[in-house]
């Protein structure tokens, strides 16, 4: 028993000794950035930081990675508690809620106009909300595109009917066990971000100019019927597919086509899939192109950055990381798949000579910027449950569209209480 006590005390003592050593972390003055980027992009980022710090020995950049949801909630918590990072790099649709809450600050008077002039105007405008500029994008794109496996399908389909016909041929049982093991088309079936592409193709959109939901429309019903038929009538998509399943099937060469965004393309090439990119084909009945939402990632400055010296350092870092040089580095590494927001870099030969990027630019032309109004959150959450039920064959498209609208209106009302 004594031995046990001695051991216990020794452990306590040891822990006690370790505590002060480990707990005494000192904090130099530094610019902290929180991001939620993908690993290849972060590798380039870290390289850029090193370069910046060599040139500016007085400033230290620290990057902390979070998951997308974690970044959002942690940033709120931290800023409300008067702490947190100086900069965040996040999807630009956070700007709506963040600026409404007042936890980021407007940049109009902080960043010189000459610098802003270098940016693609519509990209920069996307970061304006209620007349003020809240973020500076380091990339544009993020739009879904049709990706096909050239081994299975030599040329991209021109119309949606053609796509379905080809996909039907390619959806088959290759090893004779009585089960389908190759699909014509895969994508994240239940995710609203994918669904709205088709909603656009049938002539709809998620909200009107006053940020009110426009979900109970003919276009929504048709689009729901369309995605429902892909699974139940045409049978060209798997019975259940979330992002990971779709991604795996395509990476394993078991899907001829996938609808996915720029972040994924490099990984497909790494997995030795010979990919081609094309616009998601026109919907025959409407003659319209499906409309992927385009987006960007933007740097925003925390409202807690007030001290002059800190503010100057923060802006210097911000301008370096969104500037021409940094964007050229991203492009060179093909680390993000997105397109530069800087006009000069976007016009460079590097973009023009790359078939993947060229196709990406082409698809982006058919896209439409994702709304950044806070109401969008309610709309996403209103679409998801009904879409899930339609894809489970448990709700009719008409009911689903009505339900989506009702829920969205309700959630927006709650949000504004």
Partner 1 sequence: MRRSVYRRAQGDSPVKLFFIYAVLIVFTIIAVYPIVNVFSVSLRPNNRLYSTSLAIIPDDATLQAYKSVLFEKPFLLWLKNSLIVSLVTSVIGVGLASTAAYAFSRFRFRGHRAGMTLFLVAQMFPIPMFLLPLYILLGRYGLTDTLLGLAVPYVALTLPFSIWMLKGYYDTIPRELEESASIDGASPLSAFYRVILPLSLPALAITGLFSFMTGWSEYIVARVVLTQPDLFTLPLGLVNLQGQFSTEWGNYSAAAMLIMAPVMVLFLSMSRFLISGLTLGSVKG
Partner 2 sequence: MDDSVQRKGARRGVAGRFVARRSPGGLHRRRIRLAYLLILPSALVIALVLLYPLLFEFYLSTTNMSMQRIFNYQFVGIRNFATILADPQFYEVFFRTIIWTVVNVFFHVAIGLWLAILLHRKLPGRAIFRVLLLLPWAVPEYISALTWKGLFNFRYGAVNLFLGQVDNLLNSAYGLIGLARGWHLGPISWLSDPTWAFAAVMIANIWMGFPFMMAISLGGLQSIPHELYEAADIDGASGWRKFRNVTLPLLKPVLIPSVVLGTIWTFNKLNVIYLITLGGPGDKTHILVTTVYRAAFDYYRYGYAAAFSVVMFFILLLFTVNFVKHLRGTEAVY
CA dist., res. 266 & res. 276, Å (int) = 12
CA dist., res. 96 & res. 216, Å (int) = 24
Q: At what angle do helices 39-55 and 324-333 cross, to 10 degrees?
A: 140
Give the one entry of partner 1, partner 2, none that residue 97 binds, where binding means its C-beta sits below a cut-off of 5 to 8 angstroms depending on kind: partner 2
Give the one entry of partner 1, partner 2, none that residue 307 binds, where binding means its C-beta sits below a cut-off of 5 to 8 angstroms depending on kind: none
CB of 327 to partner 1, least distance (A): 19
- For partner 2, the binding residues in 369-388 under the rule CB under 8 A are 374, 377-378, 381, 384-386, 388
Of the pair 188, 220, the CB lying nearest partner 1 is at 188
Of the pair 44, 391, the CB lying nearest partner 2 is at 391
Write the interaction track for partner 2 spanning residues 398-417; mark x where CB under 8 A is met and - where it is not: -------------x--xxxx
Of the pair 96, 135, the CB lying nearest partner 2 is at 96
Of the pair 104, 321, the CB lying nearest partner 2 is at 104
Write the interaction track for partner 2 spanning residues 178-217; mark x where CB under 8 A is met and - where it is not: -x----------x---------------------------
Stretch that binds partner 2, among 66-74, 206-214, 278-286, 332-340 (CB under 8 A): 66-74
- The binding site for partner 1 (CB under 8 A) comprises 1, 4-5, 8, 11-12, 15, 18-19, 22-23, 25, 27, 32, 34, 36-42, 62-68, 70, 74, 77-78, 80-85, 91, 181, 243-245, 247-249, 251-252, 254, 261, 263-264, 267, 270-271
What residues make contact with partner 2 under the rule CB under 8 A? 69, 72-73, 76, 80, 97, 100-103, 179, 190, 238-240, 242, 244-245, 248, 374, 377-378, 381, 384-386, 388-389, 391-392, 394-395, 411, 414-417
């Amino acid at each position: 028993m004594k031995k046990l006590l001695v051991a216990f005390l020794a452990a306590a003592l040891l822990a006690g000794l370790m505590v002060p050593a480990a707990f005494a972390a000192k904090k130099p003055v530094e610019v902290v950035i929180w991001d939620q980027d993908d690993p290849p992009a972060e590798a380039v980022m870290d390289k850029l930081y090193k370069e910046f710090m060599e040139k500016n020995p007085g400033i230290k950049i620290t990057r902390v990675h979070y998951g997308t949801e974690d970044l959002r909630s942690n940033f709120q918590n931290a800023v409300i508690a008067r702490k947190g990072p100086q900069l965040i790099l996040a999807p630009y649709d956070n700007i709506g809620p963040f600026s409404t809450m007042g936890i980021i600050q407007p940049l109009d008077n902080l960043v010189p106009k000459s610098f802003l002039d270098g940016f693609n105007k519509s990209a920069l405008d996307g970061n304006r909300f209620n007349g003020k500029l809240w973020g500076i994008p380091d990339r544009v794109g993020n739009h879904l595109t049709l990706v096909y496996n050239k081994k299975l399908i030599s040329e991209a389909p021109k119309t949606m009917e053609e796509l379905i016909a080809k996909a039907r041929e390619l959806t088959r049982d290759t090893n004779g066990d009585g089960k389908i093991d190759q699909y014509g088309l895969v994508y994240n079936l239940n995710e609203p971000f994918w669904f709205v592409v088709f909603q656009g193709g049938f002539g709809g959109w998620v909200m009107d100019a006053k940020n009110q939901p426009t979900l109970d429309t003919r276009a929504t019903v048709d689009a729901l019927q369309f995605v429902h038929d892909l699974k139940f009538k045409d049978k060209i998509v798997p019975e259940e597919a979330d992002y990971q399943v779709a991604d795996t099937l395509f990476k394993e060469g078991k899907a001829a086509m996938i609808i996915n965004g720029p972040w994924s393309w490099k990984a497909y090439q790494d997995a030795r899939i010979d990919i081609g990119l094309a616009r998601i084909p026109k919907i025959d009945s409407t003659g319209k192109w499906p409309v992927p939402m385009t987006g960007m990632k933007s740097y925003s400055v925390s409202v807690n950055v007030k001290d002059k010296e800190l503010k100057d350092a923060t802006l210097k870092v911000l301008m370096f990381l969104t500037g021409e040089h940094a964007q050229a580095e991203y492009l060179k590494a093909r680390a993000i798949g997105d397109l530069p927001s800087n006009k000069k870099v976007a016009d460079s030969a590097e973009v023009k000579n790359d078939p993947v990027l060229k196709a990406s630019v082409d698809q982006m032309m058919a896209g439409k910027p994702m709304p950044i109004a806070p109401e969008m959150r309610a709309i996403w959450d209103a679409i998801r449950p009904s879409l899930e039920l339609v894809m489970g064959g448990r709700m009719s498209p008409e009911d689903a569209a009505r339900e989506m609208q009702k829920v969205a209106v309700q959630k927006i009302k709650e949000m504004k209480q």
